[in-house]
Structure 1
Amino acid sequence: MASAAFEEIVETFEFLDDWEDRYRHVIELGKAMKPLEDAFKVPATKVDGCASQVWLMPQIEGKGPSATFRFHGDSDAMIVRGLIAVLSALYNDERVSDVLTTDAGAELARLGLDDHLSAQRSNGLRAMVERIRELAAGAAAGL
């Protein structure tokens, strides 16, 4: 079961019949996010594999698999900021062990994103998920 924040996005998507409305909703989620400070927009936080500029800054509380996972992110593209917001809803405040076992593909499929994102955006979304999993794996290992 996904987080309550992610379930709320799923419910909103079910309510919105038109994909254009869903797309606008994703953009609004991105606009509502607090921007990442420029000091954190560095090569170490940049996500490779995205057509847009994307930065993910982890914030891990605790140690090992039971540590709490959070991240802040930003992008120079509004739709990508929205996708970061969706991933934040999926992963933030979860234990790192749960981040590693979450089937992001299945959860995101509930939103129908792959059917409506360009191939480049879909690849970028996968790259963001991979980076999140890498960060969680490092935290679980105590790195």
Structure 2
Amino acid sequence: MASAAFEEIVETFDFLEDWEDRYRHVIEMGRAMEPLAEAFKVPATKVDGCASQVWLMADIEGQGADAIYRFKGDSDAMIVRGLIAVLKALYDERKVAEVLETDAGAELARLGLDEHLSSQRSNGLRAMVERIREQATGAAAGV
């Protein structure tokens, strides 16, 4: 089950009739997101596989499956910042177990992102989801 924040995005996308309006909404979500401090834009937080520069930094509170997953992210591309904001709505402030149970592909398909992003952007989005899942897996295992 998706978070309430993600369900709100789904409802907004249902309300917005054309993809250009949805695209603008995603960009606005990215603009509203707090930027990642320059000190955290380092190779360890950089996500490979993205056409743009992308950084994701996990902040996990607790241990095991009940740990709370939080992350911050940033990109040098506005649409990608927006995609990070969408992923924050999907994953941020959730238990690690919930992060791992979330079918990101199915949830993001509800927004139609799979149909409207370029192959490079889709690959980048998959790389970000993979990084989030790796972080959550490590936290669940106590690593």
**TM-score of the pair, normalised by structure 1:** 0.99
Match of 2:87 in 1: 87
- Counterparts of 1:139 and 1:98, CA distance in 2: 12
Deviation per CA, 1:101-143: give whole Å up to 9, x if none: 1000000000000100000000000000000000000111111
After the TM superposition, which segments of 4 or more aligned residues of structure 1 sit over 6 Å from their partners? none
- Counterparts of 1:137 and 1:40, CA distance in 2: 21
User: Which SS does the other structure have where 2:44 is aligned?
Assistant: helix
Structure 2 counterparts to residues 1-143 of structure 1, below 5 A: 1-143=1-143
Deviation per CA, 1:50-90: give whole Å up to 9, x if none: 00000001010111110000100000000000000000000
Q: Which runs of 5+ in 2 are unaligned?
A: none
Aligned amino acid, residue 53 of structure 2: Q
Q: CA deviation at 1:39?
A: 0.4
Q: Which runs of 5+ in 1 are unaligned?
A: none
Aligned amino acid, residue 75 of structure 1: S
Tell me the matched-pair count.
Answer: 143
User: Which SS does the other structure have where 1:28 is aligned?
Assistant: helix
**TM-score of the pair, normalised by structure 2:** 0.99
